[in-house]
Structure 1
Amino acid sequence: MAVVPERRVVLLGGGFSIDADGLLDDWVLDQVRAPRPKVCFVPTASGDAPAYVEQFLAAFQPRSCEPDVLRLFRRELDDDGLRTFLLSQDVVYVGGGNTANLLAVWRVHGVDRLLCEAFDRGTLVCGISAGANCWAEGSHTDSFGPLTHLSDGLGLLPGSVCPHYDSEPGRRPSYRAAVASRTLPAGWALEDGVGALFTDGQLTGSVTRTPRARLYRVEPDGDSGVREQALPCRLLVSAHRLTPPA
Structure 2
Amino acid sequence: MSKLIVIGGGYNGGDFDKELETTIRGFIQNDKPKVIFIPYASRDFIDNYRSFREIYEGLGCVVDLLEPGKESTLPHADLIYIGRGWTIPLIKTLKDTNAIHFLNQALENGAIVAGFSAGAHSLFSQAGSNEEEIGYTIVEGLGFVQGCIMSHYNYQDRAESFHQLLKKHKIEIGIGLEDHTMLIIEDETARLYSSKEDSKVYEIKQSDSVINIQPLSNHFSINKGKNESL
**Range class of TM-score, shorter chain:** 0.7 to 0.9
Amino acid at match of 2:66: L
Deviates more, 1:45-54 or 1:176-185: 176-185
What is the CA–CA distance in structure 2 between the aligned matches of 1:233 and 1:64, rounded to whole Å? 29
**Aligned residue for 1:99?**
87
**Aligned residue for 2:226?**
none
**CA offset at residue 101 of structure 1?**
0.3
Q: Identity of paired residues, percent?
A: 24
Map residues 44-123 of structure 1 onto 2, 5 A cutoff: 44-47=40-43, 49-72=45-68, 75=69, 77=70, 82-83=71-72, 85-123=73-111
**Aligned residue for 1:227?**
212
**CA offset at residue 24 of structure 1?**
0.4
Residues 120, 175 of structure 1: CA spacing in aligned structure 2 closer, same or farther, 3 A cutoff?
Answer: farther
**Aligned residue for 2:15?**
18
**CA offset at residue 15 of structure 1?**
4.9
Amino acid at match of 2:41: A
What is the CA–CA distance in structure 1 between the aligned matches of 2:103 and 2:173, rounded to whole Å? 24
**CA offset at residue 202 of structure 1?**
2.3
Residues 198, 185 of structure 1: CA spacing in aligned structure 2 closer, same or farther, 3 A cutoff?
Answer: farther
What is the CA–CA distance in structure 2 between the aligned matches of 1:200 and 1:179, rounded to whole Å? 26
The 3-state SS of whatever aligns with 1:46 is coil
Structure 2 gaps of 5+ residues are 220-230
The answer to whether structure 1 residue 177 and structure 2 residue 168 are counterparts is: no
CA contact (8 A) 1:138 1:184 kept: no
The answer to whether structure 1 residue 200 and structure 2 residue 197 are counterparts is: no
The answer to whether structure 1 residue 216 and structure 2 residue 202 are counterparts is: yes
The answer to whether structure 1 residue 129 and structure 2 residue 112 are counterparts is: no
Amino acid at match of 2:9: G
Q: TM-score, normalised by structure 2?
A: 0.84
What is the CA–CA distance in structure 2 between the aligned matches of 1:219 and 1:113, rounded to whole Å? 33
Deviations 1:48-82, CA, capped at 9 Å, x for gaps: 6222222222221121222211022xx4x3xxxx3
Deviations 1:71-94, CA, capped at 9 Å, x for gaps: 22xx4x3xxxx32x1001111111
Deviations 1:145-193, CA, capped at 9 Å, x for gaps: 311111x2110011011001012x4211221233345444623211111
The answer to whether structure 1 residue 146 and structure 2 residue 135 are counterparts is: yes
**CA offset at residue 139 of structure 1?**
0.4
Amino acid at match of 2:211: V
What is the CA–CA distance in structure 1 between the aligned matches of 2:63 and 2:51, rounded to whole Å? 12
What is the CA–CA distance in structure 2 between the aligned matches of 1:125 and 1:28, rounded to whole Å? 10
Structure 1 gaps of 5+ residues are 1-5, 235-246
The answer to whether structure 1 residue 186 and structure 2 residue 173 are counterparts is: yes
CA contact (8 A) 1:138 1:185 kept: no
Amino acid at match of 2:138: H
What is the CA–CA distance in structure 1 between the aligned matches of 2:175 and 2:111, rounded to whole Å? 22
State the number of aligned residues: 216
Residues 226, 59 of structure 1: CA spacing in aligned structure 2 closer, same or farther, 3 A cutoff?
Answer: same
Amino acid at match of 1:66: V
CA contact (8 A) 1:163 1:190 kept: yes
**CA offset at residue 233 of structure 1?**
5.3
**Aligned residue for 1:239?**
none
What is the CA–CA distance in structure 2 between the aligned matches of 1:180 and 1:125, rounded to whole Å? 30
